[in-house]
Structure 1
Amino acid sequence: MAALSGGEMCIKYLMFAFNLIFWLAGTAVLAVGLWLRLDGKTKGLFEGTDAPYVFCSGVYILIGVGALMMVLGFLGCCGAIQESPCMLGLFFCFLLIIFAIEVAAGVWGFSNQSKVVQDITNFYTQTYNNYKETRDENLKQTLLVIHKELNCCGPKGIAEETEKDTCSRGEPLQDFITESCPDAIDKVFDSKLHIIAGVGVTVGIVLVFGMIFSMLLCCAIRKSREVV
């Protein structure tokens, strides 16, 4: 195997450094997905047969993409170290596919933001109404988690007699000033949206640099092997 020049070796190690960053970016995406899945403020949304489909699907997609990025980051490091044009070419193709999916998902997410929030609000309202009718213990536990973590109580923010066993007990005046759960849900997703958007933009930038470095290194390796 012909040796790479000094500049090409620089590209090689830049490629390795990129894949390390890419692996870390995948870790961040996976962490955001797991955070939304396991955080006390949102994990109750995944419980029960009436869980909001749009939100749950989006979170599981984040977890899957994050795990895939971590695997690709590891493979990209191997391709750079072994100077394999085939592995680098496949790595480029996978990055391009992930970039296209991320752009499509970002456009879809922002265009359907209100739908996601409405879907979750409908899930809460349905859970609340079903509990009032059936007094099912599982529904009660779901409402307890939502009310406690979001610091809200009921659809109107006022603890009625049928709601007091699922709302946190506080000062007597708190019954009149507690935020309604639909408003609390809206605020939670507004506060997390900029974090998700920031991670998405960072990942997109990393993907573009990864495609550039992988093609430069692949071309450099092929060029070096053509030298007799």
Structure 2
Amino acid sequence: MGTAREEMRRVKVLLFVFNLSFWLAGLAVIAFGLWLRFGGVMAEFASDKKPPEYFFIGLYVLVGAGALMTMVGFFGCCGAARESQFLLGAFFACLLVIFAAEVTAGVFAFIGKKVAIQEVQKIYEDIYDEYMKNPGKVNRTIYHYHLALQCCGKDNTEQQMGLPCPENIQMPKNCLVEIQNVLDANLHLVGIVGIAIAGITVSKSMLSFSLSVFESSPPSLINSFVLQLLVRFLSVSCEMAFQENAACNIGSM
């Protein structure tokens, strides 16, 4: 019994460390999501009347999950320290919500990738056509796109046609290609982050479950069962992230 309790103390310490890292990861997820939403190129896309809907839905879910992660991480530390069945049970339920949110963010990011790229490319083409008809009306808008993407027009001849291009560009790039590259990279990051955090969430759920039922079940059985599940979920999560990364890299070739 003493050995089992020592093992459960180790689980308790591990859960406490997980919660601290989870709290920090929540802050990082919030910062990452807000940066993608309001920073650089995506700020220009978002300012349009028709932003890439699937991409931003995934980001909103990601930021919301990050905020919940910071709160749950704090209460999870308290529950682990006090070994409160109520706090750990509530913590386990919240982790399931976070898991669903992160998976949703990853799914929206990967499934909506093609649609988001097509929508943003159409936005640029509409602005480009409007500029050709009335240069003074959208001159600033199209320049912001060119500056953010470091591109100019839809082929390599626009710089000689008076199109507003960044001054430091020596060889103009195709903006439609750059839009695809930027969105593909950003959506790839959102999906990988969602899958990785979902894997961590499942691991934390197993640890909190083991502590919450420790008093009412044989400790050795719980410890063995939980550790087996923990290793299995971590390996599956890593494998999913690796496969998704490989698939995206192959698709971008």
TM-score normalised by length of structure 1: 0.80
Q: 1:82 to 1:130 in 2, by over 3 A?
A: farther
Structure 2 residue matching 1:143: 3-state secondary structure = helix
Equivalent runs, 1:36-51 vs 2, <5 Å: 36-51=36-51
- 2:157 maps to what in 1? 158
What are the ranges of 5 or more consecutive residues in structure 1 without an aligned counterpart? none
In 2, Cα distance between equivalents of 1:129 and 1:65: 39
- 2:20 maps to what in 1? 20
Equivalent runs, 1:110-149 vs 2, <5 Å: 110-133=110-133, 135=135, 139-149=138-148
In 2, Cα distance between equivalents of 1:63 and 1:157: 38
| Counterpart residue type for residue 196 of structure 1 | V
Contact 2:154 2:175 (8 Å CA) reproduced: yes
- 1:212 maps to what in 2? 206
In 2, Cα distance between equivalents of 1:18 and 1:202: 14
| Counterpart residue type for residue 55 of structure 1 | F
Structure 2 residue matching 1:168: 3-state secondary structure = coil
**Equivalent pairs, count:** 215
In 2, Cα distance between equivalents of 1:163 and 1:97: 53
Q: 1:60 to 1:130 in 2, by over 3 A?
A: farther
Note the C-alpha offset of 1:143.
2.2
Q: 1:181 to 1:62 in 2, by over 3 A?
A: same
In 1, Cα distance between equivalents of 2:168 and 2:57: 36
TM-score normalised by length of structure 2: 0.73
Specify which structure has the bigger relative contact order, considering alpha-carbon pairs within 8 angstroms and separated by 6 or more residues: 1
Note the C-alpha offset of 1:97.
2.2
| Counterpart residue type for residue 200 of structure 1 | G
In 2, Cα distance between equivalents of 1:206 and 1:13: 16
In 2, Cα distance between equivalents of 1:64 and 1:45: 21
Structure richer in helix, relative to its length: 2
Worse-superposed segment, 187-196 or 70-79: 187-196
- 1:89 maps to what in 2? 89
Q: 1:50 to 1:105 in 2, by over 3 A?
A: closer
Note the C-alpha offset of 1:169.
2.8
In 2, Cα distance between equivalents of 1:111 and 1:169: 37
Identity over the aligned pairs, expressed in percent? 36
What are the ranges of 5 or more consecutive residues in structure 2 without an aligned counterpart? 219-253
Note the C-alpha offset of 1:8.
2.6
| Counterpart residue type for residue 201 of structure 1 | I
1:100-150 Cα shifts (integer Å, max 9, x gaps): 33334423432231111111112222233344445566x433322220121
| Counterpart residue type for residue 150 of structure 1 | L
Aligned Cα RMSD in Å? 2.7
- 1:169 maps to what in 2? 167
- 2:196 maps to what in 1? 202
